[in-house]
Structure 1
């Protein structure tokens, strides 16, 4: 038996076409995708004018409807044929014409063609009331001429500093006036593009191998699958955010069949991606209504359509029951694209096949031969097997089946749930404690915290000690946030703040066999670099490290080191990473309005300071796509050194100041690599050649120790000329309302309402979240940590106030 040919595996450079109804967001997504993949953006309206010399309305007026329709389709076909690689093509409404859809079907044989759709109420805002129903009905025809789908989720939530959606806080640091129209769309869509081009996990792994998203769940030491039934999600009284961090991935089980099921499923997949940000396992239960039919073809019809939908939505994993009909199995394997297939075997009944039966090995070999990426074998029985019998079966697979062997998930379960949590190491099924899955025998007992805690109580994993170390960390907010996350996750770790300034003291901390990791502040971020065996790509570019992890054992494989987290032992070497930049990146991405979306050729940013945090801020801006960055620092020579560092790096990467890429297509024809500039005085006007800044990041401490301006910096009014406002990020949080924060809050309230102010408290919670995930390899409970951050800070303020009185 041979694996099927994968007909939906496209060349990574193949152009990606976006089609859909007016108002679906094709052009906005196309722009985001072009920036992310460094590709040329082709829009149908622009291409029509380029070819004909007229706009569409002008051509229609000159030549009449019949001639326009014929020419429109001709140009559409030419657009596809002339841009087959390294482009993002955003189509207009021509894609609704039958001849154009025939061209799209042909194009889809070699290229990704994505149907972009969204909630009907959002699209109606862009349509004339007359004819809207017909247009919305015609839009569904795009499913027949495309091979992928992206649901462009509209998220009306406004997330405040305490992490509660749709609520406000009375505190002065509430982030007001935050636009939500494209909140999260860029991250969702770029991840979707990474999946269909095959660049996602590989890129993350090469840049930061200890990142929680760098190692797929099937290759981690231990991983958990949060099982969610579609029926439960539709009736759920919980916010989706309450499911956060309860599993390394989500298994979406299609167990209900409403009339508009395709759109319902697409919406739920988009919600899981947006709110939980974990890989999705897509599983379709057999439809009991179809089971009652006599003909097997009728029984498989809807299941095939629903399984196809999972592949079209670009889910990371698709669960395929290998005991279903052979045509259905082959159909899915033939079209899997880059989705990984979990080949399922379910053995049930009083006479279920036992682990020592040779048929078990033969079933595994069949899944391997079919090309399944993971094999999942589960026995529904009255009593679980002894652990020894299951281990013997795994040993037979390991020793008796030739490589490459897909990872194996194998366990017993009964109506009482999984009986032996340690039977399977990866993709253990778990439930959310507040959701009753009455029909789900696989997850009626175990939750992620209880399952993970069992690894410590059974001495498989070890309690460790984590630290934040620096010159002045006695009032750090990190310990309470980390301890809250440990308790949530079932980990008995400890985290403490230690004030010190010598490398000898730091070395003593790191030498302990129970050392788990350390957050570094000044003066260690640069001084530690020569003492690290391995650094992430990010840390190397930034030139500073703020997280150090132990490398245990003599293995040379970085994956083994990453999977050794949460285990004690002597550390042979150390690994360094930088999460400061990612925290700044996240805050910027969350706060920048759609009107100020980064455009490499135009967007301008200002960084105040020239220390380690300023370096992280510049790197975050570059990762966002900004190519015009100004640095202001009291000591100009320091600013010049930082600018030269990143300009040299930009030259090495082929990144130009105008946002073009030397080896790519797009942007302008600029060849200068000077992405960073120094501005020497707050008295001088903003350089005329550049747009006023729409992103301002203050990276100076409350007190100055290195010549940098202290946190009494205020923006010169002549630099606040952006007509679309922007975002100001203040890194200092002691005091929380710095002169810059106070100035910009007043400016926002009286002059420029489009400005968003991000204070240091939001940033420090993001830093703790990033550090927790890097240190433990587990998903962080972000909302919980953010809430604890605010409450701890407020308690500190009350304690200081009562102490001073």
Structure 2
């Protein structure tokens, strides 16, 4: 259904943006109201509802406020009273709304008729509140504006300038596909799931609540991390294999060449394809601009524009100190990576005064990392880069990245420990792929072959070895993963004491039994009182006395949490009254309750064939939750299949079955039975069976 948008003013009537404008600041109160602006049909209302649920805020649609006040829709009001009277009332209502609802809200629908006063009012609001310009493909927007292509183009240009002036961030709302990666039709209630994930992640970065995935490498750590180099031009190709973006790299670096498109078109494409990357990958996203050879002003404008996309990191030349200072003032959660390019120095000068000066400059400017690249004259120059990286890293407060460029520099790319640039498999002529980089480390014996084992009673047919070994091969890792089924827990000691082993995955029924034998236990595993992952860390101090540390983690709850989050439709997003049903009372049930708590579920019922064990589990988590700050956890026990669902609770939209496939110490299958009275959620939900057949 199309709608006619009122005319917007020509570009000349709108003030031009200033890089120093107050609304460029990006540090907000945690409860600051979020404002979404944009064209009709951009999806502001849908995103606003998603944000209001995800951020636990009140949703306000300005059009509803206007209709309530004027007893007419904006279109009908303009038809009866004219545009001038509409602007007057719109401005009055906008000023009142922004004053009354400055905190705890998500507002959409403002800026329906762009004008100078409205822009100034919204710009003033953006001083202390995030204002997001929701963008969409022009072809999608044109469906909602019934006019000629020429008129639409003028409306778009003027409106686009207006929304950019009164906002601090850009979010591109991708039109969602109707099928999944395998071509299967998506259920109607799941079509917005990826939009929800990407948009809420975007808002978390805006509000400074970036959550890095547990047990994932920090891209800026010195643990051989990799940044996948993705050219904007590649993303713009219709036949690009976007699934290749999720290939094991620790970060994605969006590379933007200033000379490929005009600035306005380049900005639109950067906004669009930042959203593309975030849809197809979950790792941090960096942005790097290849400077124009003729226009440095366009380059600086592009860097500032990229901050509107809330990237995880932005790359900027160290020589442009004014630009770095400006970016540091404007950024919040975005890291700044300073870069310097030179010809290779001799080893004697590798840690000389010039290099130390560069490092001190980067640190004094507040940069989060320093990247030095060089043009090699021979393959031997790669070793000079390695020496330079090691010399500068000693005593440095920030990570140091050093490598040679071009075909002759590929060895240094493999040896550099932090943010080594890797390319897509289809672009190996232009660089080193992730698989090749790690194979090179293994060939140099810098990445030793390590054994990993899944240990438990019924793991003979576990899928873990096949999954892990396939992943090792895809990423170029030399490791081997196998299974050891055993009815005797003491067999685990041979694995933990083996010099070849790097870790053990602990399966049923030993997840609690292993606890006393560990040197360190993660906070999550302590809370859950179960460990499913033991990492064997061997230290090699300078005195030659090798030590071994056994660290225990629980990753079961992460898998359960992410599975719930990924498959719970936006209609069933976790709210204050959300309920969950956990079936079982063992170690996996402990992880499931912890996962639900992490997602914000406050009401949980437990059903187990032995009610006493369910009661012990409920009592434990009740006391545990009471000792934690924040929201309380309410647990109830369903003693039999005849018990009704508690009348004070909503029907569960989350059901997690945590029963073993076989009964302990025998081969009798376990049968799952649930009461129909517990499965009456009118909006459906998600059912997860975490104990897959082995």
TM-score bucket of the superposed structures, by smaller chain = 0.7 to 0.9
1:532-571 equivalences in 2 (<5 Å) = 532-553=518-539
User: What CA deviation, in whole Å up to 9, does each residue of 1:379-418 have, x standing for no partner?
Assistant: 124325545644554465456xxx6632221222335552
Cα gap change, 1:434 to 1:305, in 2 (>3 Å):
same
Q: Can you give the 5+ residue segments of structure 1 that lack an aligned partner in the other structure?
A: 160-164, 169-174, 292-298, 438-443, 556-567, 657-672, 736-805
1:295 aligned residue = none
CA distance in 1, matches of 2:621, 2:63: 35
Answering whether residue 569 of structure 2 is matched by residue 593 of structure 1, we say: yes
CA distance in 2, matches of 1:705, 1:246: 37
Whether contact under 8 Å (1:48, 1:56) holds in the other structure is no
2:4 aligned residue = none
1:145 aligned residue = 166
How far off is 1:112 after superposition? Answer: 2.8
Cα gap change, 1:331 to 1:497, in 2 (>3 Å):
same
CA distance in 2, matches of 1:436, 1:514: 33
CA distance in 1, matches of 2:489, 2:670: 28
Which of 363, 369, 372 does residue 367 from structure 2 map onto? 372
1:606 aligned residue = 581
User: What CA deviation, in whole Å up to 9, does each residue of 1:597-624 have, x standing for no partner?
Assistant: 33222x3332222222222222222333
1:753 aligned residue = none
Structure 2 counterpart SS, 1:420: helix
2:106 aligned residue = 89
CA distance in 2, matches of 1:728, 1:238: 34
Cα gap change, 1:651 to 1:23, in 2 (>3 Å):
farther
Whether contact under 8 Å (1:35, 1:625) holds in the other structure is no
Cα gap change, 1:347 to 1:554, in 2 (>3 Å):
closer
CA distance in 1, matches of 2:315, 2:353: 24
Cα RMSD (Å): 3.8
How far off is 1:81 after superposition? Answer: 3.8
CA distance in 1, matches of 2:432, 2:230: 14
Answering whether residue 671 of structure 2 is matched by residue 650 of structure 1, we say: no
Cα gap change, 1:678 to 1:503, in 2 (>3 Å):
same
2:9 aligned residue = none
2:12 aligned residue = none
Structure 2 counterpart SS, 1:198: coil
Which of 590, 605, 608 does residue 615 from structure 1 map onto? 590
CA distance in 1, matches of 2:322, 2:585: 63
1:431 aligned residue = 423
Whether contact under 8 Å (2:386, 2:403) holds in the other structure is no
2:437 aligned residue = 451
How far off is 1:128 after superposition? Answer: 6.2
1:105-184 equivalences in 2 (<5 Å) = 105-120=123-138, 127=144, 129=146, 133=152, 139-140=159-160, 141-156=162-177, 158-159=179-180, 165-168=181-184, 177=187, 179-184=189-194
Whether contact under 8 Å (2:253, 2:285) holds in the other structure is yes
How far off is 1:484 after superposition? Answer: 0.8
Whether contact under 8 Å (1:30, 1:41) holds in the other structure is no
2:642 aligned residue = 683
Whether contact under 8 Å (2:45, 2:61) holds in the other structure is no
TM-score norm. by structure 1 comes to: 0.73
1:220-259 equivalences in 2 (<5 Å) = 220-235=222-237, 237-255=239-257, 256-257=260-261
User: What CA deviation, in whole Å up to 9, does each residue of 1:300-347 have, x standing for no partner?
Assistant: 3322222112211011111112345x6545443442332111111122
CA distance in 2, matches of 1:543, 1:571: 26
CA distance in 2, matches of 1:315, 1:418: 27
Whether contact under 8 Å (1:48, 1:72) holds in the other structure is no
Cα gap change, 1:83 to 1:569, in 2 (>3 Å):
farther
CA distance in 1, matches of 2:178, 2:309: 24
Structure 2 counterpart SS, 1:10: coil
User: What CA deviation, in whole Å up to 9, does each residue of 1:745-794 have, x standing for no partner?
Assistant: xxxxxxxxxxxxxxxxxxxxxxxxxxxxxxxxxxxxxxxxxxxxxxxxxx
1:397-416 equivalences in 2 (<5 Å) = 397-398=392-393, 405-416=397-408
Q: Can you give the 5+ residue segments of structure 2 that lack an aligned partner in the other structure?
A: 1-19
Answering whether residue 192 of structure 2 is matched by residue 188 of structure 1, we say: no
Which of 267, 271, 275 does residue 266 from structure 1 map onto? 271
Whether contact under 8 Å (2:51, 2:106) holds in the other structure is no
Whether contact under 8 Å (2:453, 2:504) holds in the other structure is yes
TM-score norm. by structure 2 comes to: 0.84
User: What CA deviation, in whole Å up to 9, does each residue of 1:417-444 have, x standing for no partner?
Assistant: 524345522111221221366xxxxxx2
How far off is 1:234 after superposition? Answer: 1.8
CA distance in 2, matches of 1:525, 1:18: 47
> Relative contact order (C-alpha < 8 Å, sep 6+): which is higher?
1
Whether contact under 8 Å (2:386, 2:416) holds in the other structure is no
2:465 aligned residue = 479
Whether contact under 8 Å (2:382, 2:409) holds in the other structure is no
2:336 aligned residue = 341
CA distance in 1, matches of 2:141, 2:575: 25
Answering whether residue 317 of structure 2 is matched by residue 321 of structure 1, we say: yes
User: What CA deviation, in whole Å up to 9, does each residue of 1:195-215 have, x standing for no partner?
Assistant: 3333325x75xxx4xx11xx4
User: What CA deviation, in whole Å up to 9, does each residue of 1:607-655 have, x standing for no partner?
Assistant: 2222222222222223333333222222222222222333334333455
Greater shift, 261-270 or 146-155, is seen at 146-155
How far off is 1:470 after superposition? Answer: 0.6
Give the paired residue count: 658
CA distance in 2, matches of 1:56, 1:575: 65
CA distance in 2, matches of 1:613, 1:350: 56
CA distance in 1, matches of 2:61, 2:189: 28
Cα gap change, 1:182 to 1:634, in 2 (>3 Å):
same
2:3 aligned residue = none
